[in-house]
Amino acid sequence: MSLNAPTEYLQGLLDSGPLFWRAMASMKTDDDHHDQNATHVEPAPPGIRLAPTALLDAVSSYWPRMTSVWTRSLASTLGAQTEPVIAPKRSDRRFLAEDWRNNAWYSLLKQTYLLNAGLLEEVVDAAVLSEKDKQKLVFFSRQLIDSLSPANFVATNPEALKLAFESNGDSLRHGFTKLLDDMQRGNISITDETAYEVGHNVAVSQGAVVFENDLFQLIQYAPLTDRVAKRPVVIVPPCINKYYILDLQPENSFVRFACEQGMTVFMVSWRNPDATMAQTTWDDYVELGALTAIDVARTINRADQVNAVGWCVGGTILSSAAAISRARGEDKLASITLLTTMLDFEEPGELGVFIDEAGVTQRESAIGRGGIYSGKELGFTFQTLRANDLIWPYVIDNYLKGKSPMAFDLLYWNADSTNLPGPMYTWYLRNMYLENNLCKPGRLTVCGTPVDLGHIDAPTYVLATEEDHIVPWRSAYRSTRLVGGPTQFVLGASGHIAGVVNPASKNKRSFKAGGDSSGDSQAWLTSAETQPGSWWTHWIEWLKPHAGESVKARTKPGSALHKPLEAAPGRYAKVRTA
């Protein structure tokens, strides 16, 4: 299966089904096992093995607890005060309404669901499969379990039912209208998209586009200090979604923070691909993208080197560019910062369940020689990774309750998806996720140059986040073993987005730093120290020694060779996926 299509997601559920139901079918009772009352696990059907002790424990604890749920529920209907047998996790927001606790029927429904979900998870955990099949089974079983929550259906959601009665059915009518609208749009509405406008109330840092080609625009931001560092910061964001996640609003803008610290910041704003980019390759993103942006920024600032920052796939592109530049004998990078970036894809996390040889081959056949991969399909898969945060709450509020989603800048950015060129996308799937070639010296040739990440000798700052479901932090840690220069590894709190966009001014969350990086990730974690607040302040102190001398800030963007073309954020950032 390849990455990110809703149809393939549904196919994944079907593919995993036989494994799941074969595991379930293996659970039987036999009075001859050990003693007259013990639960016995029969041999599994052909093709699947089970851990019998784990299954025995799961079934043995399930039935007494389920019996207790029913007896306590019956007692509560007769006026007795009872404690629930099982409660949702503190992070589970599906059952916050009082009726889930105080109404005997809804409490029974909730506890039965939670117990059944737990049993299914334990059955899946007991299945002895290859690592790939087990990961797939766990992922799609969780999707199935999440989808069957009683909160997801009108008839078993107390809030939706109450609202339907109070509104004489208007809430359901509004919900059905919203469902039809979203079906026409091709995605679930997760925020009020009319509340924001790129360049008006998001992506508002002052600056100008000082260069453009068919692949990207380069934005130079206005200085916010009288003096600035000679060497500029060049940011290569992901080509999935838009760059302005790093410049949402003044209070949470990484761009503004860097400018306030006396840095001249350049930002790559990738073009949202259309049919004219159907032949664009990974080599183009490296040569015409990252390497060109570095050269233009150096020229404008008259600097010997730049400090480059890459996020997620932008960091993978940047690292490829850095290795190539060094192999060519160039020395253009004073430092590199990699934000939640994978260079070693051996353990790609849950995205790996969507990748296999058959799926990648099918994608290569369809769009590998030319075509566009839809950003909406791309976004859907990322939503499935956190379905209880990014799918089901909006199904409930939008369709069951007829409500409109609230305005939220981060979710507006999340919904502003971008397409990908087919050749670039399929090359990335095969060589990173499927074959893990980038981390193997000389295995790949990009822009005519063999790629060896060990050639990167610039100091490298590697940020990972603890709850990242896209780039597992231990995978990100492996980057420190691949690059040739000195490294600083930092582990931020939260996830892939919130862990990066953690404004220093709000002093929230924490990060770990200072661990022993001579060993594996666990050794680093054991020796690292937790520090309160944002990693931004730690990063800027690390960066300053590489920033060069202090010079007077120039008030006019660009140069004689690279004159300003238009005001930031530029027209590339405003093109939305149809």
Give the residue among 543, 552, 483 at the shortest CA–CA distance from 307.
Answer: 543
Output phi, psi for 216, to 5 deg: -155, 160
**471 pLDDT more than 60:** yes
Query: Between helices 104-126 and 131-147, what is the axis angle to 10°?
Result: 170
pLDDT at 100 over 90: yes
Per the CB < 8 A criterion, the answer to whether 524 and 477 are in contact is yes
**CA–CA gap between residue 114 and residue 142 (Å, rounded):** 12
Annotated active-site residue in 259, 312, 439, 447:
312
Give the total residue count for the chain: 578
Cβ partners under 8 Å of residue 295, min gap 6? 332
Cβ atoms < 10 Å from Cβ of 131: 9
Return the HEC string of 365-427.
HHHCCCCEECHHHHHHHHHHCCHHHHCHHHHHHHHHCCCCCCCCHHHHHHHCCCCEEHHHHHH
Catalytic annotation present for 447: no
Among residues 289, 293, 305, the alpha carbon closest in space to that of 220 is found at: 293
pLDDT digits (tens, 9 = 90+) for 501-512: 999 988 889 999
CA separation for the pair 213, 217 (Å, rounded) = 7
Q: Are 482 and 508 in contact (CB under 8 A)?
A: no
The answer to whether 246 and 253 have CB atoms below 8 angstroms apart is yes
Task: Identify the sign of the CA torsion 413, 417, 418, 424.
Answer: positive
Residue-wise pLDDT tens digits, 384-435 = 888 998 899 999 999 999 999 999 999 999 999 999 999 999 999 999 999 9
User: What is the pLDDT averaged over residues 511-533?
Assistant: 95
Residue 346 has what pLDDT? 95
Residue 498 CB neighbours (<10 A): 16
Question: What does the H/E/C string look like for 223-270?
Answer: CCCCEEECCCEEEECCCCCCHHHHCCCHHHCHHHHHHHCCCCEEEEEE
Per-residue pLDDT, 278: 97
Q: Which helix (H) or strand (E) holds 220?
A: strand 216-221
Count the Cβ atoms, other than its own, within 10 Å of residue 561. Answer: 10
208-236 pLDDT, tens digit each: 999 999 999 999 999 999 999 999 999 99
pLDDT-derived band at 535, boundaries 50, 70, 90: very high
Cβ(161)–Cβ(154) under 8 Å?
yes
User: CA 424, CA 438: separation in Å to the nearest integer?
Assistant: 15
- DSSP assignment of 483-549 equals SSS-EEEEEESS-TTTTTS--GGGT-SEEEE---TTS-HHHHHHH-EEEES-HHHHHHHHHGGGS--
**The residue type at 90:** R
Q: Give dist(CA 417, CA 371) in Å, integer.
A: 17
Give the model's confidence band at 17: pLDDT under 50 very low, under 70 low, under 90 confident, else very high: very low
Q: What mean pLDDT is predicted for residues 344-370?
A: 93
| Higher pLDDT pick, 449 / 385 | 449
β-pair partners for 546: none
What mean pLDDT comes out for the span 526-543?
97
For 271-324, the pLDDT digits (tens) are 999 999 999 999 999 999 999 999 999 999 999 999 999 999 999 999 999 999
CA–CA distances in Å: residue 33 to residues 30, 36, 40, 57, 575: 6, 7, 6, 14, 66
Cα separation of 108 and 72, whole Å?
9
Average pLDDT over the chain, rounded to whole? 90
Long-range CB contact pairs, 16-19, < 8 A, 24+:
16/136, 16/137, 16/139, 16/140, 16/141, 19/48, 19/127, 19/129, 19/133, 19/136, 19/137
Of 393, 406, 402, 385, the C-alpha closest to 97 is 393
Question: Which residues have CB under 8 Å from 361's CB, separation 6+?
Answer: none
Does residue 44 carry a pLDDT above 60?
no
Is the previous residue joined to 441 through a cis bond, with omega within 30 degrees of 0?
no
Asked if residues 573 and 243 have their Cβ atoms less than 8 Å apart, the reply is yes
DSSP β-ladder status, 207-212 and 566-567? antiparallel
Task: Say what the pLDDT of residue 48 is.
Answer: 56
Region for 327 from its dihedrals, namely left if φ exceeds 0, alpha if ψ lies in -120 to 50, beta otherwise: alpha
Q: Which residue has the higher pLDDT, 52 or 168?
A: 168
**pLDDT: is 118 or 28 the higher one?**
118
Residues 6+ apart with CB under 8 A from 276: 214
Strand partners, 513: 529
- Model pTM greater than 0.95? no
Supply angle C-alpha 156, 161, 164, rounded to 5.
150
Contact between 110 and 100 under an 8 Å Cβ cutoff? The reply is yes
Q: Tens digits of per-residue pLDDT, 433-447?
A: 999 999 999 999 999
What b/e readout covers 343-367, taking b as 16+ CB neighbours within 10 angstroms? bbbeebbbbbbbbbeebbebbbeeb
Contact criterion met (CB below 8 Å) for 397 and 154: no
Pairing of strands 445-446, 449-450: antiparallel
Across the chain, how many H-helices and E-strands are there?
A: 21, 19
Rounded CA-CA distance 503/124 in Å is 40
Domains of the chain in sequence order = 6-152 (no CATH), 207-373+405-574 (3.40.50.1820)
